[in-house]
Amino acid sequence: MTRTGWLDCGSGVSGDMLLGALAGVGVLDALPDVLASAPGLAASIDVSATMRGALAGQRVVVTTADPDPPHRSRSEVRNIVDALPLPDAVRTKAQQTFDRLASAEARVHGVDVEAVQFHEVGAVDAIVDIVGVCLGMHTLGLQRLTVSPIALGGGTAETQHGPVPVPVPAVLELLRDSTLTAVGGDQQHELATPTGVALLVELADGTSELPEMSVQQIGVGAGSRDGGSRPNVLRLVVGEATAESQQDWLLVEANVDDLDPRLWPGVLDALLAAGAADAWLTPILMKKGRPANTVSALTTTSQFDEVRRALFVHSSTIGLRTTRVAKSALDRECIEVDVSGQCVRVKVARLEGGVVNINPEWEDVSAAAASLGRAAKDVLADATATARRMLA
């Protein structure tokens, strides 16, 4: 079993909504002491119960002694976070979240990362949001976190740079660097803030519907806005997921018509070495009658970047497509059988406890056949029969 969290982002996401959801599952107790020990930050949090529509939730408000927090460079924010009494893992996650924000802002405004001046996301409340969420998630001790498609909203939003379209440019840049998915939604205002999206990109393992899990805790974080077509809340569901439900699977494919066919075995080996669960070729016929192959790899979201890199490096493709897929697998185990003194591993697959497949490992069969001077097909038959007797 895997300790798993899932975030319902159907009403969007922001730093304070994430803090509220974490407060709802009781993992923000250490944050006030962290803030109190930070020189010059002068920030505190107020957690209160509230209603959004018909749903009860927790609202977290950050207060500061400075009514007009200054703009801050990335290096200034880095120094503030480094000075906080945090576990190393929390500090790293918080710094990486700000790195993502700085990179997104730099691309939006066409400047160097170190030249970025944080405005909205550099204010004290955003520092508290990012540090608090990273600390709360660390305390929660999740082994896996997935999120629903993130509702972004529409219309326009007012910023320090003037009005900008929603989704705001920084949010789209952040999503471009991730495998998370998003949707506009039916509300004409900003639902997802750069701070909230940056935290999800840094902390979440992928997008999914509610995983198959036993529900243990529920935290409901309330946003500042009330009203609208659905309650303005973000829900955090925590529980235990089965091994099979804890993975999000991606099918990565490319059509290739210009690779020397002698290279294909190496390409497939490279994809498997990069973490793909499976990799294969399918002959196809492309435009103008050109013969080609579709190279496919099945991977989890956590291994996607490495598999993607392997496909680009080892094949001649200049583009690929990615499809989210569901995968069902049988329970399996590996046993060893003796064939005339040679050890052969056998993979056994079960459905509802009953054996449905018995497959000797071909490498072992081949090695045993060579050692015994027998035909491989005979060793295969003996290994299969021996395994069946053992499992009867």
Structural domains in the chain? Answer: 2-245 (no CATH), 249-325 (3.30.70.1380), 331-391 (no CATH)
Cα distance between residue 145 and residue 4, in whole Å: 6
Whole-prediction pTM: 0.67
Strand 2-8 relative to strand 144-147: parallel, antiparallel, unpaired? parallel
CA nearest 281: which of 291, 326, 290? 291
> Which of 138, 135, 141, 125 has its CA nearest to residue 34?
135
Q: Are 257 and 220 in contact (CB under 8 A)?
A: no
- Rounded distance, CA 2 to CA 148, Å? 19
Question: Is 297 in contact with 305 (CB distance < 8 Å)?
Answer: no
Tokens of 82: 């480094």
Q: At 347, list the tokens.
A: 């993979």
Give the integer Cα–Cα distance in Å for 136 and 30.
9
CA distance 201 to 150: 11
What does the pLDDT read at residue 259? 95
Q: Is 257 exposed, middle or buried (0-12, 13-18, 19+ CB in 10 A)?
A: middle
- Tens place of pLDDT for every residue, the chain, 392 residues? 678 999 999 999 999 999 999 999 999 999 999 998 887 778 899 999 999 999 999 999 998 877 676 677 888 888 989 999 999 999 999 999 999 998 998 888 888 777 676 665 557 888 999 999 999 999 999 988 999 999 999 998 877 767 889 899 999 999 997 889 999 977 889 999 999 999 999 999 888 889 888 999 999 999 998 877 789 999 999 998 865 554 568 999 999 999 999 999 999 999 999 999 999 999 999 988 999 999 999 998 878 889 999 999 999 999 999 988 877 777 788 999 999 999 999 999 988 888 999 999 999 999 999 999 999 999 999 999 999 999 98
Distances (CA, A) of 4 to 61, 89, 198: 27, 19, 20
Pair 218, 55: CB distance under 8 Å: no
Q: How far is CA 117 from CA 63, 74, 164, 382, in A?
A: 22, 7, 17, 71
Per-residue DSSP letter, 160: T
Task: Please tell me the predicted confidence (pLDDT) of residue 43.
Answer: 86
Each residue of 43-59: pLDDT tens digit?
899 999 999 999 999 99
**Of residues 102, 74, 31, the one with CA closest to residue 82:** 74
Report the pLDDT value the prediction gives residue 31, as an integer from 0 to 100. Answer: 95
Residue 370 is predicted with a pLDDT of 96
Any residues with CB less than 8 A from the CB of 188 and at least 6 apart, and which? Answer: 153, 154, 155, 166
Beta strands (DSSP E) in 96-232 are: 117-118, 144-147, 150-151, 156-159, 162-165, 182-183, 206-207, 213-222
**15: Cβ–Cβ under 8 A, 6 or more apart, which residues?**
125, 126, 128, 129, 130, 132, 133, 193, 195, 196, 199
pLDDT of residue 342: 94
- Give the whole-angstrom CA distance, residue 114 versus residue 392: 67
Q: Which residue in this structure is represented by tokens 């999120």?
A: 147
Task: Residue 18: name the closest of 155, 118, 145 by CA.
Answer: 145
Q: Find out whether 283 and 264 touch, Cβ atoms under 8 Å.
A: no
In the prediction, which pLDDT does 247 show?
58
pLDDT at position 314: 97
Single-letter amino acid code for the residue at 290: R
Count Cβ atoms within 10 A of the Cβ of residue 383 and give its class: 0-12 exposed, 13-18 middle, 19 or more buried: buried
Residues 6+ apart with CB under 8 A from 67: none
DSSP-derived letter for residue 353 is: T
